[in-house]
Amino acid sequence: MSTPNVNQNRLFQVILAPQITEKATYIADKHQQIAFKVRTDATKGEIKSAVELVFKVEVDAVTVLNVKGKIKRAGKVTGRRKNWKKAYVSLKPGQEINFAAGE
């Protein structure tokens, strides 16, 4: 499943959290994809291996996108939130990840 040159400890650190939003729920129902917040330096191969290792499912494809941090203001001072990376993981037919079951 996982590539031999990737450290298994690294794979456990790639996935930070599932994205549970309205859009993520819609995409999960319509396209059978799950959205995850991942490390900014993670690659598609690492994300695929990490999901297969952690959730014991087969991954069909991975799509990643970089989310720019919002600009925030407090009075005259402006700041910026961190940029982060989101991954949409497509599972093979018949595969499912259930977060409510507490795997």
Asked if 44 and 65 count as a contact pair (C-beta separation under 8 A), the reply is no
What does the domain layout of the chain look like in residue ranges? Answer: 8-91
Q: What was the pLDDT predicted at 67?
A: 96
How far is C-alpha 42 from the geometric centre of its chain's CA atoms?
10
Domain 8-91: what homologous superfamily?
RRM (RNA recognition motif) domain (3.30.70.330)
The 10 Å Cβ neighbour count of residue 45 is 12
State which residues of the chain have pLDDT below 50: 1-2, 103
Cα–Cα distance, 67 to 74 (Å, whole number):
22
Asked if 49 and 11 count as a contact pair (C-beta separation under 8 A), the reply is yes
Q: What was the pLDDT predicted at 26?
A: 94
Average pLDDT, the chain: 90
* Beta strand 15-18 pairing with 71-74: unpaired
Q: What was the pLDDT predicted at 85?
A: 97
Please write the tens of the pLDDT for every residue from 61-87: 999 999 999 999 999 999 999 999 999
Question: Which token pair is 24?
Answer: 């993520």
